[in-house]
Amino acid sequence: MRMGIMTGTRARSANVNEIGRTHTVDEISGLAARAENAGFDTLWMANVFSLDAIMTLAIAGRETKKIEVGTAVTPTYPRHPTAIAQQAVTAAAACGNRFTLGIGLAHKVMIEDALGLSYAKPARHMREYLEVLTPLLRGEEANFSGEQYSVHGLTVGAAGVDSVPIVIAALGEHMLKLAGRFTDGTITWMVGPKTLEGHTIPTLVNAATAAGRNAPRVIAGFPIALTHRVDEARAKLAPGLAIYGSLPSYRAMLDREGIDDPVGIAIIGDEATLREGVARARDAGATDFNAAIAEVDEGAYDRTFDFLASL
């Protein structure tokens, strides 16, 4: 199982005066280099409303040599599939084909309430989006007519880039089937090992097999922290994760896992606890572990990073 590091766009400091500060591009590039030097396979970056993840990772990729970089994830609605294809191909060219494009629907509260775009038919949106996007990422011509997108006779390419891998944030059955049919796999969040094994992976694999595709990647993301102050750590982490309990797609995954409070999905504790948590994801069938390290107390990030590197 490949090991990866997840980074957001906000500073991770335990210092209350630092909370909310946006990461700099240099900090993300430095983290990529640090992760590469420590032996991690991947660095994933969220895309919210500060640094653009594709552009930032293209820069980070040029300053590293072997680590894979990928978005986790870039929302589809604000960007036409031809535009995101052009960005992805450029990023791949910048870092020697070490870029993976992760995309997702985001949520109604962001797309409709904040941006004013219709979120009425998310599954149709994603299917049509992939119909346009996936051939472009393979260097092929896109020709598609649908309700939301109509693209004909367009190609996107760059010297030295044959194709760009793509994964989508897929939770429900329909999205997992789309992931298996069109993409290289899925990247998950708020999905526990029981749900991975009993729902996510079999649905995804069956769809990929039916489509004649290779075995898909399953990039399992978990909040994680190495600490002996477990109760304090969970209390500190809980407010930041609470939102996931109210978003329908994540709530459904937590219910499948039998978890009420989203903080219950986090892997928090001593070395044995973390080792067991990572092993459970691996044994469930995850191909990649994506560690969202939480700075639950001073030094927790570095302790956790070093421990995961040792695995």
Per residue in 20-48, pLDDT (tens digit) is 567 899 999 999 999 999 999 999 999 98
Q: What is the pLDDT of residue 109?
A: 87
Q: What is the pLDDT of residue 92?
A: 98
pLDDT, one tens digit per residue, over 276-293 is 999 999 999 999 999 999
pLDDT, one tens digit per residue, over 251-268 is 999 999 999 999 999 999
Ordered domains of the chain (ranges, CATH): 2-310 (3.20.20.30)
Q: What is the pLDDT of residue 19?
A: 46
Q: What is the pLDDT of residue 47?
A: 93
Q: What is the pLDDT of residue 171?
A: 97
Ranges of residues in the chain whose predicted pLDDT is under 70:
9-21
Q: What is the pLDDT of residue 86?
A: 98
Q: What is the pLDDT of residue 14?
A: 44
- Write out the DSSP string of the chain: -EEEEEE-SB---SSTTTTTPBPPHHHHHHHHHHHHHHT-SEEEE--SSSS-HHHHHHHHHHT-SS-EEEES-EESTTS-HHHHHHHHHHHHHHTTS-EEEEEE---HIIIIIIT----S-HHHHHHHHHHHHHHHHTTPPEEEE-SS-EEEEE---BTTBS---EEE---SHHHHHHHHHHSSEEEEES--HHHIIIIIHHHHHHHHHHTTPPPPEEEEEEEEEE-S-HHHHHHHHHHHHGGGGTSHHHHHHHHHHT-SSGGGGSEEESHHHHHHHHHHHHHHT-SEEEEEE---STTHHHHHHHHHHH-
